[in-house]
Each structure stands twice: as structure tokens, then as C-alpha cells.
Amino acid sequence: MTIENTMLRTYSDFDKGQEARSALIAAGFPQDSVSYTAREDESGAVTGNFLIDKSQHPESDRREPNFMEGYEPNETQSATPVDWGRSYVLMVDTPDAARMRQAAEIAEQFGGIDIDDVTSRASVA
């Protein structure tokens, strides 16, 4: 398949993307033409990835890190839950424009984001 025959949508919610994948397969798209992958920020968590200095924040209920015992990030970080910044990419190879439109409609029913659309609108603004 060429890039002209490939539909991409991103999701921030794993379950919504998985539902879209299942709906595409139920609509007759071959399973091997529908891929769903997770992408993660390689630099680490986007929020909640910070150690607390108890001398400056004695009110914190988090314990100080003890790297000899092993490191459990949620015990030593701020009260903000850890967000790893994952995004999920749904890719569908389609044989023609009609199937491409159908795939896009299905993906968007579950909140799929068309990055090309978002970036083109941002460059106009």
C-alpha cells in the first residue's frame, strides 16, 4: 500500500482506539490491514515524574526514595498521578478512496484524531 491508501488516527484513550479497531474489522476491513500501536514519550512521564524533597515538603505523605530497596515511582513522586504521555496510533491500509472515507468515519466515531487535519488548521491560524 502507498501512503495515499493509508488512514492514520491517534487516540489518547487505549480503549477507544481498540473499539475503533474492532469496529473496522467488523465492517469488513481485513485484520492484517488494521494495526494499532502504543507510542510513549521516550523521555519519561510527562507529569508526576518528580521526586519530593521531604525537607521542603514535610506535609507530603510520600516516602523518601530508597534506591537500595528498589524504586516504586508512585511512592516517591508528587501527589500528581503519573502520566506517561502515551498515544495510540490506528493505521488502516485501504484499497480505494471510498474505503478510506469509511475507515475515517468509523475511526472518528470513537474519537480518533486526524493529525494532518489538526496541524493544517494550526498552520492557518
Q: pTM for this one?
A: 0.63
pLDDT recorded at residue 120: 75
Residues 6+ apart with CB under 8 A from 115: 8, 10
Could you tell me how far CA 61 lies from the centroid of its own chain?
A: 30
In terms of DSSP H, where are the helices of the chain?
Answer: 14-26, 73-76, 97-109, 115-124
Taking the C-alpha atoms of residue 86 and residue 122, their distance in angstroms, rounded to an integer, is 22
Write down the domain spans for the chain.
1-40+86-125, 44-82
Higher pLDDT, 41 or 108: 108
pLDDT of residue 118: 76
pLDDT tens track for 32-79: 999 999 876 555 555 555 554 445 545 555 555 555 665 555 544 455
Q: Copy the grid coordinates of residue 73.
A: 515511582
Question: Do 6 and 92 contact (CB within 8 A), yes or no?
Answer: yes
CATH architecture of 1-40+86-125: 2-Layer Sandwich (3.30)
